[in-house]
Amino acid sequence: VSARFRRNLQPTLTYWSVFFSFGLCIGFLGPTLLDLRCQTQSSLSQITWVFFSQQFCLLLGSCLGGVFKRTLAQSLFALFASSLAISLVFAIIPLCHNVVVLAVVMAVAGLAMGCIDTISNMQLVKIYQKDSAIFLQALHFFVGFGALLSPLIAEPFLSDTNCILSNSTANASSNLPHIRKSLVPHHLGNLSNYDLPMKGMVVTRVSYAFWIMALINLPVPIAVFFLLYKERMVPCFNSSSHPLLSADELAMETRPVEKDELSTAVQRPHAAGG
């Protein structure tokens, strides 16, 4: 197993890093939900639709990822596009000032996450086959690492007070800690009693957190591109390389020469004057 791991070190590390992108994208939405509500100037019931759009499209992306299983090139190009899409999503989220636009962007992230989930698991099973259990466990460790890191990055930029300044800001600011506690998973409280302003001047610094996560995730598509380059699957870099002969060409090259062909080949220079 260790020898096979050394032979496939670059592909294995690449698939692990892509799953880090998966975890990074799945862990940020909960902590930043209230700041995203302020950014889009929407209600709590409206902003929670971004959860549905992300998770529903993650389901669709997991099914779509099976389409790219036919060849290694298709799988790697799908991983490259998905990891690059996640970086672009992080960069675009601060520019979304409408909850519908934000839901569409999160749907794109969900599709990318679903493709990553299916393809990375499948490729590791193809490489290690019956010994793939430990590598799949490491793969899911990177999901947890990414999901741990994204809230830590976002935490310094979250608003301690209400991020929409209006006449009712004072009351809303005192309610904010109770709302954050109510958003804890498995302990959801009744949020209808809290009145948060939807109109006013937006004061939030959560955009910096998303741009930092976009930069942290950027090496992942670069790593997938290097794997594509190593496997000679990048079209613009294939002209200078000389790939190995295919099986049919190799058979033609190694086929024994028949006597008639040999005599014809010997007589041809004499017919041309030596």
Domain boundaries, the chain: 27-161+205-235
Q: What pLDDT does 191 receive?
A: 47
Q: What pLDDT does 217 receive?
A: 93
Q: What pLDDT does 242 receive?
A: 44
Distances (CA, A) of 86 to 17, 106, 112, 114, 252: 13, 9, 7, 12, 47
CA distance 244 to 246: 6
pTM over 0.85: no
**pLDDT tens across the length of the chain (274 residues):** 888 888 888 888 999 999 999 999 988 888 888 888 888 888 888 888 999 999 999 999 998 888 887 788 888 899 999 999 999 999 999 999 899 999 999 999 999 999 999 998 898 888 888 888 888 999 999 999 999 999 999 998 887 766 666 555 444 444 555 455 555 444 444 544 445 555 556 667 888 999 999 999 999 999 999 988 888 777 776 654 444 444 444 455 455 544 444 455 445 544 455 4
24 touches 149 (CB < 8 A):
yes
Q: What pLDDT does 17 receive?
A: 92
Fold of 27-161+205-235: Growth Hormone; Chain: A; (1.20.1250)
Q: What pLDDT does 200 receive?
A: 53
Distances (CA, A) of 172 to 1, 169, 196, 254: 58, 5, 5, 81
Q: What pLDDT does 258 receive?
A: 47
191 touches 43 (CB < 8 A):
no
**Which of 69, 15, 39, 28 is CA-nearest to residue 223?**
15
